[in-house]
Amino acid sequence: MITFPHAKINIGLQVTERRPDGYHNLDTVFYPIPLHDALEVIEAKDAEYDCKLHLSGVDIAGDPDSNLVVRAYRLLASDYPLPPVDIHLHKHIPTGAGLGGGSADASFMLRLLNEMFALNISTEKLEAYAAQLGADCPFFITATPVYATGIGNEFHPISLDLNDLYLVVVKPDVFVSTKEAYSMVHPKKPEVTLDKKIIAPISEWRNTISNDFEKGIFALHPELQEIKNKLYQLGAKYAAMSGSGSALFGLFSTPIENIEEHFVDCFCEQQKLPDSHRGVPK
């Protein structure tokens, strides 16, 4: 069985406070986008292993045996009698980009196993399993726009549809450490939360919705600021860095011809956004 995990963007991100446990509370909006990986699972009859991961596409650092899709399989296998499987993960979503690619892969693995082996796990229980794999993983179980608080794990449905806009995602060859990103942010509770700001017309977002990580990260990597500026020069209605970076995105009314020519030596992809109420195509 095959499925196509998709990415997300953060529309705005405010770090509101540092928690006693060392984590930070956030104020952000997650929006699903049609930028996909491919994930295939095949039953491995008579195999002497529980699961084996085969990777292709974008390089992924680390031991494949500790990949989130493997952890997702073993998490369910601890409660359900799953057979041995071969897993093929083709990475297209850039890693270290703030696009949630790894979290998406993990959650879509849970969804695929649930369907493939008729486990009949409810959406709520799948979200509980996903939460054990990462704070934002439960978002990808249903993958509809949400206003997120807490450490990015408390979701509140919102009515937000960017249908018919064109999304441009640009990811240069820049690595941003999440720990480093947080070290440069000074938490502050906003006077107006994002769930209130997001209802304004997109033309107003540029002046009202921001990503707290941008100031410090742009100072270290000015090329990211240049990409954001270029997106606006090309006519973006709104442009920002997603999460703690290093991918940036722009929302456009019309497609940009030969978009890749404007962002040489970067991952660059342009797609029309679907109706969010029908979900991201898979």
Catalytic residues: 8, 136
100: left (phi over 0), alpha (psi -120 to 50) or beta: left
Other CB atoms closer than 10 Å to residue 20's CB: what's the count? 5
Q: Are 251 and 234 in contact, with CB atoms under 8 Å apart?
A: no
Provide the edge-to-edge strand list for the sheet that holds 146-149: 6-18, 24-36, 146-149, 154-157
Do residues 228 and 248 touch, judged by C-beta distance below 8 A?
A: yes
Strand partners, 56: 90
Q: Dihedral of the CA atoms 279, 236, 25, 274 (nearest 10)? A: 0
Number of other residues whose CB lies within 10 A of the CB of residue 60: 17
Q: Which residues contact 254 (CB under 8 A, 6 or more apart)?
A: 166, 235
DSSP string spanning 129-186? HHHTT-TTTTHHHH---EEEETTTTEEEE-----TT-EEEEEE-S----HHHHHHT--
Among candidate residues 147, 169, 149, the one with its CA nearest the CA of residue 227: 169
Nearest to 168 by CA among 258, 37, 278, 275: 258
Do 217 and 227 touch, CB atoms closer than 8 A? no
Strand partners, 41: 87
